[in-house]
Amino acid sequence: MSDQNQQASREHYAPGAPAEHLVVFDTTLRDGEQSPGISLDTGEKLEIAEQLARLGVDYIEAGFPVASQGDFEAVQAIARSVGAQPGAPAICGLSRTSLTDVDRCFEALRDAARARIHVFISTSPQHMEHMLKMNEAQVIAETRSGVARAREHTADVEFSPQDATRTPLEFMIEVLTAAVEAGATTLNIPDTVGYGIPWDFGALIAHVRAQVPGDYVISTHCHNDLGLATANTLAGIQAGARQVEVCVNGLGERAGNAALEEVVMALKIRPDQFPGVTTTVRTEELARASRLVARLSGYPVQYNKAVVGRNAFAHESGIHQHGVLADRATYEIIDATTVGQVGSQIVLGKHSGRHAFADTLGKMGLVIQGDALNQAFTRFKELADRKVEITEADLEAIVAEELGRTLVEGYHLDALEVAGGTVGVPRARVVVSREGVKSEASAEGNGMIDAACNAIREATGTDATLIGFNVSSVTGGIDALGDVVVQLESRGLKVSGRGVSTDVVEASARAYLAAVDRLARVRARDESRRTEVGP
């Protein structure tokens, strides 16, 4: 099978092949949000969806509507706003094969100009035995039923056999054939547990193309458990896949998914390997999308991350530096400007007004209004008094910090006093308010940051454990903003919070309070975590 399929793949990609569009299906807001500790509010999801639209993806998988009321509302909001704009990406929702799930999914999507329902069911022996408690005949019947119901709502239906790479080939072909016969127009082959190896995964895609009759687009969905998600995705494209499911920054369950920026740039840099395959992604928006997702999710981008990492265009070796000074192409295969890593630096100061602030955000693609704009402007003025110049990166950090506070009245840090040094025990006093009610508390710690967090925990009455702490600078210079991300865990629930300030202790306190605020909001809406997380 493998030799025949690889030969078919080579014939399909003969030199001079006609241009073919590769559908970029972004699942940052669905699979990406399933990363531990990420719990995006509707406002934050909308901001990411707007950037994905500017980026030029074809589909936005906005969530799993039946998972919770919060997920339903977020998908609905994205469908009604981003999905209703002229030329916008199609909006997709995930659904199990249950008819009530499918109906609920479409209810969230119905206001989008173009809507897709993504139906999935597990097909591997492990999943069928331990999760579904179904046999093969039952899984096929469920597939037909769920896909047919989705097709009643929309002509755009995707089907995924979850854990495909550990599913017996003959049975998977039978399930996929049933899905196409029931009306599926896209067949997604998910490497749910990251089990695939590039040459084997490519052969699997080619085999599906050869064995499943009908008119459909074949898709990849690769996880990164072995660090091969991007490689497997590219192998799938070579074998005939014309849709790729990806996440910004490679977010997702466990080790994550194939990174959107890596797949897109691999196609752009190596057209000799993918002749005629094109996307509509505007690559100059990649870096901004990466920064926005990192700041709203609380997952910082590793310094050596391909394409969008801080070190992606940095050179330490003297030989490399010499070559780059002579000609950047000696050691750089990507022009930094093509991915938005180098651009005009917008600079505002303490004398800048609200109009200039809002206009600058608009030019950056950050469209916020009402209370959100007021809060962001207030934080801007606070920071401008301490920092000579506020750059584009600073503004992105400010907006990301404030965005999650726009839906409900959350905690506010009214006052922070700390004392510490090499003599005596570090102490902190905080005053926090929520809905006009102030709370004050003092505490000690093994450092000023620890003391401040202990005081916030006392003032808010929060029982949570700090399980993650990351601090970085937004820009360079002695007055650079400190960007702090913390992760808290309480009774099995993990949340993250972000804070920015020129004072790293204050930034840490703001991040801790933001996480406490998010913990309270998630508990208030009693959001259940997913029992089935999808492909």
Q: Write down the pTM of the prediction.
A: 0.80
The tens place of each residue's pLDDT in the chain, 535 residues long, gives 334 433 433 333 334 445 799 999 999 999 999 887 787 888 889 989 999 999 999 999 999 999 988 899 999 999 999 999 989 999 999 999 999 999 999 999 999 999 999 999 999 999 998 888 899 999 999 999 999 999 999 999 999 999 999 999 999 999 999 999 999 999 999 999 999 999 999 999 999 999 999 999 999 999 999 999 999 999 999 999 999 999 999 999 999 999 999 999 999 999 999 999 999 999 999 988 998 898 888 888 888 898 888 776 664 445 444 454 555 555 556 777 787 776 445 567 777 777 788 888 877 767 777 777 888 888 888 877 777 667 777 787 777 777 655 444 578 899 999 998 888 899 999 999 988 899 999 999 999 999 999 999 999 999 899 988 988 777 766 777 888 888 888 887 788 888 888 889 999 999 999 889 888 877 765 544 444 567 8
Asked if residue 513 lies in contact with residue 500, where contact means CB atoms within 8 angstroms, the answer is no
Find, among 262, 329, 314, 328, the residue nearest to 289 by Cα: 262
Asked if residue 163 lies in contact with residue 122, where contact means CB atoms within 8 angstroms, the answer is yes
CA angle 500, 503, 507 (to 5 degrees): 35
Find, among 468, 379, 261, the residue nearest to 244 by Cα: 261
Summarize the chain as % helix, strand, coil (round to 5): 45, 20, 35
CA 318 to chain centre: 36
Domains of the chain: 2-297 (3.20.20.70), 313-339 (no CATH), 354-403 (no CATH), 412-524 (3.30.160.270)
Which 3-state string (H, E, C) describes 100-123? HHHHHHHHHHCCCCCEEEEEEEEC
Sign of CA dihedral 429, 403, 529, 131: negative
Find, among 122, 124, 72, the residue nearest to 94 by Cα: 72
